[in-house]
Amino acid sequence: MKIDILTLFPSMFDGFLNESIIKRARDKKLVEIQVINFRDFSKLSNHQVDDTPYGGGGGMVLRCEPLVSAIESLRTPQSKVILMCPQGKSFKETHAKTLSLEKHLILVCGHYEGFDERIREFVDEEVSIGDYVLTGGELPAMVVTDAITRLLPGVIKKESWEQESFQENLLDYPTYTKPSDFRGLKVPEVLLSGDHAKIKEWRYQEQVKKTKEKRNDLLK
Ligand code: ADE
């Protein structure tokens, strides 16, 4: 899987790409992530990427040309181009799974007050990570990249994500580690019993209970 991220702020991705599971996945060549500054694609002498809006109004608007040139330089018939924006489809675990099967993703990070509406004609889908407005698409691009990368074969153990939240529309069951008694807070007896069938059933019941309590909407 290859992920190209188009942004005006490449250094925002330094920590994200060079720590923990994402770094390991890149080192093991399970994913190739490239961060590209689309300012380099501006044909204007000062590499300007934005301009004032037609019809007036405040703020600056991202111009089509640098972004579209960048997309066109990267795109192949196997690419899926995704624009990060608050008006997009709400990002869910099921969507992460579908996208994890793609060969090549191009994630486009908008910035400033907005972008020229015609940019929409050059992307395959639009994704939002929630109903709030961020200063740019960089954090959303990291969220989407992270959620997808951890699902790629070999990145984390399949058993880890098979049992966790949002699989089968259930939240994760509670987990505990040593000590068995922390300040009087005891680990449920069943987990110390060694009875694997009983533990499995208990975990499932806890998932249902937790989901009903916290996210009843998932059960509908
Ligand atoms: N850009 C700004 N806010 C965003 C959001 N909530 N999701 C995706 N991209 C965004």
User: Long-range contacts made by residues 173-176, C-beta under 8 angstroms, separation at least 24?
Assistant: 173/202, 173/203, 173/204, 173/206, 173/207, 173/210, 174/206, 174/210
Q: Which of 9, 85, 127 to mutate to test the pocket of ligand 1 (most atoms within 8 A of CB)?
A: 85
Distance in Å, CA 123 to ligand 1 centroid: 16
Residue 116: its pLDDT value, please? 96
Radius of gyration from C-alpha coordinates of the chain: 22
> Could you state, in chain order, the average pLDDT of each consecutive group of 10 residues for the chain (220 residues)?
98 98 98 98 95 93 97 98 97 96 97 88 98 96 98 89 78 95 98 97 96 93
pTM more than 0.85: yes
Residue 175: its pLDDT value, please? 95
Distance in Å, CA 149 to ligand 1 centroid: 20
Residue nearest to atom 5 of ligand 1 (CA): 86
Ligand 1: list residues with CB < 6 Å: 84-86, 110, 128-130, 132-134, 137, 140
φ and ψ of 42, to 5 deg: -75, 135
- Side-chain-side CA neighbours of residue 165 (13 Å): 12
Q: Which atom of ligand 1 is nearest to the CA of 132?
A: 6
41's tokens: 């694609």
Distance in Å, CA 140 to ligand 1 centroid: 6
Distance in Å, CA 159 to ligand 1 centroid: 31
